[in-house]
Chain A
Amino acid sequence: MRYMMLICGVESDEMPADVFAKLEADTGEWVEEMDGRGVRLFGHRLRPVDTATTVRTRDGETLLSDGPFAETKEQILGFDLIECADLEEALEVASGHPCAEAGTIEVRPLWEE
């Protein structure tokens, strides 16, 4: 079963450089481990929210706005698509991600029949 991990937290420019460097290194290790296990299918870090554009179409008109979907302190920083036996395994995989320590990870099953 496939699950999407949405990695949420504060942007990297809001944390000390050495903290971020460690986070990056630890994330690299996590990716390597999960790729090795065959659990991680795909994933990426995202550019900061100031590069985000939000699109809505209302009555045939396209409305663009600068910024993310929701203005919150924690933002989506990246994502990983994983393939697991069940939620238990997905939660175990997610809890091992270094961003789970400082940020939040939302785990959601893909809508598959």
Chain B
Amino acid sequence: MTGRVEGAVATAFHEEWGRVVATLIRMTGDWDLAEESAQEAFARALERWPDDGVPRRPGAWLTTTARNHALTRIRRGRTENAKLKELGTMTGPREPPWRSDPSGVADDRLRLIFTCCHPALPMEARVALTLRTLLGLTTGEIARAFLVAEPAMAQRLVRAKRKIRDARIPYRVPPAHLLPERTTSVLGVVYLLFNEGYAATEGPDPMRVDLCAEAIRLARVLHALMPDEPEATGLLALLLLQHSRRAARQDAAGDLIPLEDQDRERWDHAAITEGTALLDDALRRGEPGPYQVQAAIAACHATARTPGETDWPQIAALYGRLIELNPSPVVRLNRAVAVAMADGPEAGLALLHDLEEGLAGYHLLPATRADLLRRLDRREEAAAAYREALDLARTAPDRRYLARRLDDLRRAD
């Protein structure tokens, strides 16, 4: 019985934390009080639900309990910042109706997301604040996720909340003319979180499955809150497709296994099915964006039963489209790889020449050149390029991979 109630509280925490905090921030204007009240509500639930039973609408129960706690605190005058705003609907007159919600009232979690991801806040604070307030991760959990000391992470959160309050970053969905740019900023936070897990830049592990899972959770919330935003759908599709390979991406030693050598039976086929279905939905709207195109590329890989079945001409064309949307040198490098697979290594090599300047110091440029030279059997040049890449690679698994390639080349002689 107790276990069942604890399970119900845990589920409610997972599903309702962000909603309770978001609503309490709107009601009180005080971020710390909102978090404290939400915590109090969940503590009450653990006390009361075993005797009273799990309420029919746990979210409503939790929000009411949190609100009552906040009210008590404010009446006692023990809070520094809160001025209780009208309880009930406090949609500011300047806030436009949210386009995908026929009621015209935005979900509080949208206000919360747009405020947490406001460009006036530093990027790392945006991620941390979103994880804390929307997903309910503790400061300690976020600190561990980003491999920083807990006091430093606490400080980062305090500063961000202080700036929101003191510089008065508004708690609302941005007006229509700012919405596309701000939505990009919100999606960018989720993408950054996922990438930190997918290809960790720090720490001993080349990937961090927990971070990827939190990013997907966040992407699901965004997709649910912005059903009319095809890029939100595209982002969720992309993350599901990338994450579907997690069980096949690492060998026993913890090294990354290249796509063509992965055991495709170990891919998460349910995630692939969901990802491709979401992508189809998004593309049907006819408003392609960078996340949808990247998801389409990921889908080409995910749906090829063998490496040989991969539709490289299609992937090369998609990268061409991606360059139009996001002309970054890394995207151009990826296109060169795809072109090499579709039209041969010579064609790929020709495209690498223009990238030297934009990607100076990036180990994947010489590593790619080395692979193409190896396939052309220009071994000495290939070996020199592998050595160049080894000098630039920073993580241990990357270095081991390159060293192995260099070794294979020597042995072939």
Contact = CB atoms under 8 A, between A and B. Distances in A.
Contacts of B170: 85-88
Contacts of A86: 168-170
B166 A109 contact: yes
Interface string B152-175: 000000000000001111100010
A68 B54 CA distance: 66
Interface of B: 94, 120, 166-170, 174, 178
B94 A87 contact: no
6 contacts: A86-B169, A86-B170, A87-B120, A88-B170, A88-B174, A88-B178
Contacts of B168: 1, 86-87, 109
Contacts, number: 20
Contacts of B178: 88
A109 B174 contact: no
Closest 6 CB pairs of A and B: A86-B170, A86-B168, A109-B167, A87-B167, A87-B169, A88-B170
Interface in A85-113: 85-88, 91, 108-109
Contacts of B169: 86-88
A87 to B, nearest CB: 5
A106 to B, nearest CB: 12
Contacts of B120: 87, 91
Contacts of A91: 120
Contacts of A1: 168
Contacts of A108: 167
A87 B174 CA distance: 12
A86 B163 CA distance: 12
A39 B179 CA distance: 23
Contacts of B94: 85
Given A1-B168, A108-B167, 12 more contacts: A85-B94, A85-B170, A86-B170, A87-B120, A87-B167, A87-B168, A87-B169, A87-B170, A88-B169, A88-B170, A88-B178, A91-B120
A91 B120 CA distance: 9
A104 to B, nearest CB: 15
A88 B166 CA distance: 13
A2 B217 CA distance: 39
B285 to A, nearest CB: 28
A86 B118 CA distance: 13
A92 to B, nearest CB: 9
